[in-house]
Structure formats: structure tokens, C-alpha cells
Amino acid sequence: MIIVDNALKAREAQGKPIRVGMIGAGFMGRGLVNQIVHSVPGERMSAIYNRHAQKAIDAYRYAGVDPVVVTTQGELEDAIGKQRAAVTEDPFLLCRSEQIDCLVDVTGAVEFGAHVVLEAFKHKKHVVLMNAELDATIGPILQVYARKYGVLLSACDGDQPGVEINLHRYVRGLGLIPRVMGNIKGLQDRYRNPTTQKGFAEKWGQNPSMVTSFADGSKVSFEQAIVANACGLVVKSRGMSRGYEHRGHGDELAKYYDVDELRELGGIIDYVVGAQPNPGVYCIAEHTDPKQRHYLNLYKLGEGPLYSLYTPWHLCHFEVPNTVARVTLFGDADIPLAGPRVQVCACAKRDLKAGEVLDEYGNYMTYGEAVNSPEMRRERYLPEGLVEGCKLKRNIAKDAVLTYDDVELPPNRLADKLRVEQYERFGDVKPR
């Protein structure tokens, strides 16, 4: 926020706000519109795509804005030029607009997101992802395309991966070595489904499938894979700690990790359930200089060699505009170091039968687990982000990991083609 806030105020004073296009108008999208409209001078929510225009209209009206519906490129450009909020059912109008500076993907859709992101890149658009599923599945190859077109693809402040990556950068800037980047969750149960989560979803006005992905471990796996790929980390074992419960403070977590093991692994991602401050993120870091450890002890971080640092919140859409500004004004994005370090494999949520067609993540049939890329490659695991529409060739036992050899892929998916490219570029798991 420091520097960004002043830069945005300057853009507002100049009458040159960052013009934002948003893909998807669900629960998070609606909040983001309201945030930019009322609390972010220097940014404008210029246009929103949603499959059904009414939902995008409702998102604007939630913020007190009356939009115009557009169906052509010319109509969109005219609306933005006249500073009218625009709504469309064609996402590619936003990608191709000469007047939109940055797109924010708030969909959680992998196949659709791949099409939108590549089209945005071709038209010199920066993209901020509030779409962990897309980033964790094909983010590394999309970064290659972003560099090709001279634009930026970034995770976002507010989502836990972005908060963790920011914390990682901060801790490294202090001269400490991050050894664990962790995520704090309130509940994890791999067998949750939209039926069990219906009540919670209705209470908060959220999508039951998305809420299920929060509870069954898929979301935290996607999130932590992003952190691993951005920070050069791995998992200790498939599934991380699988819902290890710690009901005390995050400061106590350092004692649960072995510093020698962490050194050997080069740093890991992990998560715990129930720790405070919830729902924050944590970093377990090491300092190798005894002189500095003396000072850290004086400053109440303990004797070391491992120290606990944390961010006590992630405020989702409240923070996303900061990323839009960082990307657009400063060229600052959270970029993977060198390809996929960790990926998310699909596991059977129940006994599955040959001939069944898999539903998407966050539903009744599969859950995701974070796994190191070498194991993903060696075992030919099926990515959780690509399960939807796959037809089973054989029976799969509950909790077994699905492989490419177990399924028939839907035909002609762009995301599958990008996985092949990712394999060829980084030695990733090859679909066929």
C-alpha cells in the first residue's frame, strides 16, 4: 500500500485512472467492484464480463453504479470513452479493448481462463489472477506467454498466495531465510461436498462448489502450489500436513519443524488448521548469523534458529486493487522462478466407477492434493484443475490418485494443449 496509494492519488489528480476490466461477477467480484468504486481513487472499474449480463449489472448496482450493456467492440470503446460502466457477455471485448489497462480474472475457471488470459496477452493486457486454480494448473506456461507479449501475469494481494509471497519477500529483505511458508485454515475435511456446504454457502451468498473447494483441501493445495512455484519451495510429502491441527498461536509453530530437514529440502509449503491468527499466513524463517539472532531475541522473536513471522489476515478483494496498481504502474508481479515446483493432483473423494464423467473440483467426486512436480511427472497424475469432463476408463478406489491413464480427456481443450507445452518447456507431466 505504501507508495501505491500515493501513485494512485497522482493518477486520479491527473485524470488518468487505471482502467480495470473484470472477468466474472460472483461473490468476490461484486466486492471488488464496490471497493474500486468507493475506496480506490486512481482506478476505475471500466467493464465487467459475465456469462449472464444480469449478474454483472447487479455487481455494478451493488456499488451504486448504473451500467450500460454492450455487445460490440465499438459499443464498449464508446462507453469507456464516455466514462460509462459497461457490461458484456463477450469476455474477448475486454481482452481486445484499447482502453482497458489491466484485467482481473475472478472466475476460478481453468479452461475458460486459459482462453481469456492468452487473448488478453495478445492485446498487451496485464492480467491479475484471483483464479488460483488456473495459476496452479498452467501458470508457469502462461508466464512464458506473458513474457513473450511483454506483459505481466500476477497473483494478487488479498488472496492467501499473494499475502504469503509478499511475506516471503519481506522476510528475505530482513536477511532471514524463509524455510516454511504456511497457510492457516479453519476447517479441512477432504470429503466435504456441495450438499454438506450448502448452508454455509447460502449464509454468505457464495457458490457451494467454491465453498466446498475451501473445505476439502483443494483450494489450499492450489494456493500453496502457487506459493511454491513463486518462491522455489516444495512439499515435504503429498498433501502437506493434511489438516494438522494447532489451536495455539502461530508463534508456536516453529517448534514443530526440524531445521535440518528444512535445510535439506530447501524450504517447504504447508498449512495448519485452527492456529491463530486465523485466517492469516505464516513464515517460519531461519537466521544463520549469531549476532543477528542476539538482536532478534532482544526483539522478542525468540532464541532461534527458527523464527515465526506472520500476516494476521488476508482481506481478499480489499487488497486486489493494490496488485492492479503494482502491475500497471510499477511492473511488479509475483512470478514463478523456474517452472512448476509443486502441482495439484486429483484424488477420488469416493469410489468411482468406469464410465463416470468427472465433475469439476469442489464437487462430489475428487479433491486436490499438493505434490512435488517430479512425483507428478513420474506417476502421470491427473491435475485437479483439469478433472471436469474426464471420462473414467476403470474403477478408482476412494482416496486413490487419478492418473492420465485412468481417463479419457475431453476433446480439444486449450488447457490440455498448454499442459503439453508446459511439459515440453519444464519437463512437466505429459497428458498423452
What was the pLDDT predicted at 251? 87
Residue 34 forms part of a structural domain: yes
Q: What is the pTM of this model?
A: 0.95
Residues 47 and 99 in one domain: yes
Checking if the pLDDT of 168 tops 80, the result is yes
Q: Where is average pLDDT lowest: 76-90, 237-251, 362-376, 378-392?
A: 237-251
Percent of all residues in the chain with a pLDDT value above 90, rounded to a whole number: 85
Checking if the pLDDT of 1 tops 80, the result is no
Domain boundary among 330, 357, 378: 330
Q: Where is average pLDDT lowest: 57-66, 75-84, 203-212, 418-427?
A: 203-212
The CATH number covering residue 364 comes to 3.90.1210.10
Residues 127 and 223 in one domain: no
Structural domain including 405 reads 342-426
Residues 219 and 360 in one domain: no
Residue 132 forms part of a structural domain: yes
What was the pLDDT predicted at 432? 45
279 pLDDT tier (thresholds 50, 70, 90)? confident
Quick count: other Cβ atoms within 10 Å of Cβ 172? 14
Do the Cβ atoms of 143 and 117 come closer than 8 Å? no
The Cα angle at residue 164 between residues 63 and 229, in degrees rounded to 5: 110
What was the pLDDT predicted at 333? 87
Rounded average pLDDT over 45-55? 98
pLDDT digits 0-9 by tens, 144-162 = 999 999 999 999 999 999 9
Following CA atoms 94, 100, 106, 107 in sequence, which dihedral angle do they give, to the nearest 10 degrees?
10
pLDDT digits 0-9 by tens, 362-412 = 999 999 999 999 999 999 999 999 999 999 999 999 999 999 999 999 999
Q: Where is average pLDDT lowest: 21-30, 31-40, 204-213, 366-375?
A: 204-213
Residue 335 forms part of a structural domain: no
Residues 176 and 284 in one domain: yes
What was the pLDDT predicted at 429? 56
Do the Cβ atoms of 19 and 80 come closer than 8 Å? yes
Domain boundary among 290, 307, 330: 330
Checking if the pLDDT of 59 tops 70, the result is yes
Domain tally, the chain: 3
Residues 73 and 11 in one domain: yes
Average pLDDT, the chain: 94
The CATH number covering residue 23 comes to 3.40.50.720
Residues 214 and 264 in one domain: yes
What was the pLDDT predicted at 428? 59
Residue 337 forms part of a structural domain: no
336 pLDDT tier (thresholds 50, 70, 90)? low
